[in-house]
Homo-oligomer: A and B are copies of this chain.
């Protein structure tokens, strides 16, 4: 099965998506996640397992407890996949340049366009 399919499958669940939203603010242990989402610990562990297998999160073993944290690489991969479809409308580029230009006023040099296709 395709790489993206697994990633989308991992995110295609309400509880797991809430987990990801939670972890956006920083790493959390299983117990903390279960508590904040009103889940029972086994279900939390199982969902985290799916997210782990999909490469969405990582684990850091801290003695008794395990700290889960978001894995930026997965989101960057998704962004790369998405780029091909966002090119369908070019006007987006103007707004994007506007946005990024506001963050990095001095970064307006020209470069290669970082393309990869099927």
Contact = CB atoms under 8 A, between A and B. Distances in A.
Given A92-B76, A109-B101, A5 B1 contact: no
Counted per complex, copies of this chain come to 2
B103 A108 contact: no
A38 interface: no
Contact of A100 (B17, B79, B84, B96): B96
Contacts of A61: none
Task: Give chain A's interface secondary structure class.
Answer: helix
Interface of A: 1-2, 4-5, 8-9, 11-14, 17, 20-21, 24, 70, 72, 75-76, 78-79, 82, 84-86, 88-89, 92-105, 107-114, 118
